[in-house]
Structure 1
Amino acid sequence: MVDPKEYLERGLFFHGHRCPAMPMGLRLGAALMNALGVSRAKDGQLVALVELGDDHCATCFADGVQMITGCTFGKGNIKKLHYGKWGVTLIDKASKRAVRGVPKAEAMLANKQTPFFKDYREKGIPASEVPPEVVDPLVEKVMNAPEEMLFTVGEVFNYDWEDPPHSFRSFVCDLCGEMVVEEYGRVRDEKRICIPCQEKVVKGAF
C-alpha cells in the first residue's frame, strides 16, 4: 500500500509552500495507486490525466499527484485536460487498467470556508505568507481525514493507452541558432526555423 504521509515533506519541498491542495493531490494519487495495486512510476509505467484548467484555485493539487505517482511533466506522463475540475484518471499501461477519482465537493467547499482562503488567499496573499497556525491545521486535516470523507474513487476499468511516438529528431533553427524538435519546425523562405521565429517573421520582426 502506498502511504501518502511518506511523501508529505518531499511534496512540500517540491511544491514550495504549505497549503491543503498539494496534500489533497498526494492523498488522491495514493488512493488511485492503491486501487490499481501499482507503485510509483520510475519511467512511463503510469499516466495521469488531470482535469485541471489554468489560472484557477487549487491547481497546487497537481504537484501532489506528480510527487506521489511519478507522473511528471518532464517524463511526459501527466496530461492536463483543461476541464477546470479536480478529477484524476490514473492509467496502468502494463495491465491496461485505469481508475478515476475526484475530491468530494463537500471537502473542497469546507476548505474554502476556512481563514486560509477567506482571510488570505482570496485577498491575494501568497500561500507562503499564510501563518503556520492558519495553514498547518488544514494540512493535518487533509492528511489524516478518512479517505471516504475526501474522495470518490470509481471502479477500475479497462483503458488501452497508446503512447505517441517518441521523437529524437532535431535541427538548429536557421534564425536563432537554437535546437528545435523536428516535428515543431517550420519552413520559411527555404529556411528551417522554430515557432517563435516564425511568429517574428510574420510580424516583420526579422
Structure 2
Amino acid sequence: MRIAIAGAGAVGRSIAQELVSDGHQVMLIERDRAHFDPGAVEQAEWVQADACELSSLEDAGMQLCDVVIAATGDDKVNLVVSLLAKTEFAVRRVVARVNDPTNEWLFTESWGVDVAVSTPRILAAMVEEAVTVGDVVRLLTLRQGQANLVEITLDDKTSVAGQPVSSLRLPRDAALVTILRGGRVIVPQPDDTLEGGDELLFVATAAVELEIRTALGY
C-alpha cells in the first residue's frame, strides 16, 4: 500500500519505520525544517510541505495514497489533514492521532476520520489492563464508536473457569476474538477450556460491555 504520514516527529517517524519494514510505500510530509530528516527513515519518501495546504498535498500526490495517517502533535492540524484527505482526495482509510483526550469527540467521520487513536487513552487502558482482574477494560474504539475492543482478565474464582468457550452466553453484539494465555495467542474454539489468568479480548458495542462481565461470572 501507499501510505502518507503527516508529521515527521518521533511518532510519525516510528510509524513510518514500522510500515516500511512491512513492505509498504511511505511518504512523510513535514513542514518544520527541524523535523525534516530523510536520513531518519531512508526508505521513505520525504516531502517538506504544509499538510494543511491543498496545493501541497496535490503536488505530493496524496490522491495516489491508499491510507493517510495524521500524526502531528497538533489536533487542529490532524483534523484538517483528515478532512482534506477524505473529501478532496477520496483516500480510502484515514487514521488520526488524538493528542488531547478532550478533543476525541471531534475525531469522527464528519471530519474524515475512520480511526482515531488517542495515545493518552491507550496508555491509561494499558495500565488498567495490567492491574485489573474481573473488570472490562476498553482498549480501543472502532468504527467511530460503533464498537470497542475490550479486555477482561479471568481469575480462578469466576464460574466460567474450567468451562469450555461454548458455555459462554455472550450478548448478541459481542464476539470473543482472542484468548491471551501466558505467551500464547489462542484463536478460541468451542471446545477450548477457559482458565484463571486468561485475558479475553472481545469486540463489542458499548451497550453490552457490562453484559459481557455478567456472562463471565462477575
Q: Give the TM-score normalised by structure 2.
A: 0.22
Higher helix share: 1
Larger RCO: 1 or 2 (CA < 8 Å, sep 6+):
1
Larger strand share, 1 or 2: 2
TM-score (norm 1): 0.23
